[in-house]
Copies of this chain bind each other. A is one copy, B any other.
C-alpha cells in the first residue's frame, strides 16, 4: 500500500485488515493515518498503522492532498506559446501547432510518468517546459545546434503519453500504451498531421523530426527503435535524462534533512544521494 500527501509518498503494509477496512479505505480516498515511521532495508515505511476517514470539518477532497505542479498552468501555457513561436521551420511549426491543438487540454493535465519523475498532475507540461528552457540555454553555448529542431522535438517528445496513459489520476497504461507505446504513437500523430496539413511526407525535415522523436529514449534498450543519428536528437535525449534525473534527485532530497541520505532511487541505478550541510561554508 502506498500513502501519499503533498510532501511525498511512503509505503506501508496493513497486516491485519478486516473486511470493514478493505471496503472503507480504497484507492483515491482521503484517509487520516497515525503510524510509526521506520526504515526497511534503507527505505522508510510506516508500520503499526491506524487509519480513519476524515470527519465533518476536515478536508476530504483528494485534490488537496496531491503534489501540484510548481508553476501554474497559465504561466506554462504562455511559455509553451512563446516556444512554439520560436520554431522557424514552417513544416515543424505547423506540425507542432496541429498536435498541440488536438491535445491541448490533456497536455496540461497529464503526468509525465506513472511513477518516477514528474509523476504528478501537470507533470507532462512542466517537464516539457523545463526541457525547453534547458534547450534555449544550451543553444546559446552551442550555436551549431538548430534551435527550431530542438524545440519542436522537445515539445512533441512525450506528447503521446496522453494516449499511453489512462488519465491524470490513478494513472494506468491503456491497451495502446502497453502494446504500442508513446514513442510510436507520437510518430503516428506526426504522420496524421503531415497528411491533414498536406505537407510532403518525403521532405527531409519531416523524416528528421520523426527521427528525433523516435530516438529520444537514446538507447534501443529503453524503447527507441532507432538510436540518435542527428546531433539534435542526441542532445534532446541528454536534456531529457538531465531533467528527469534532477527532478528525481530533487524530490528525494526534499524529503530528508541535511546530513542524511535519501532512500535508494530505483530509476537512478538504485543509488541514494547525500544532502550536504552547505550553509556551513
Contact = CB atoms under 8 A, between A and B. Distances in A.
Contacts of A246: 142, 145, 231, 235
Interface stretch (A54-62, A99-107, A119-127, A220-228): A220-228
Report how many copies the assembly holds: 6
A181 B271 contact: no
Contacts of A231: 246, 249-250, 253, 273
B224 A179 contact: no
B220 A274 contact: no
Contacts of A204: 175, 276-277, 280
Contacts of A195: 192, 195
Given A179-B274, A204-B175, A221-B220, A269 B227 contact: yes
Interface residues of A, number: 78
Interface stretch (A73-81, A109-117, A130-138): A130-138
Interface string A179-193: 111011001100110
- A-B CB proximity, top 9 nearest: A137-B137, A179-B211, A89-B281, A225-B225, A231-B249, A133-B141, A220-B220, A223-B225, A238-B242
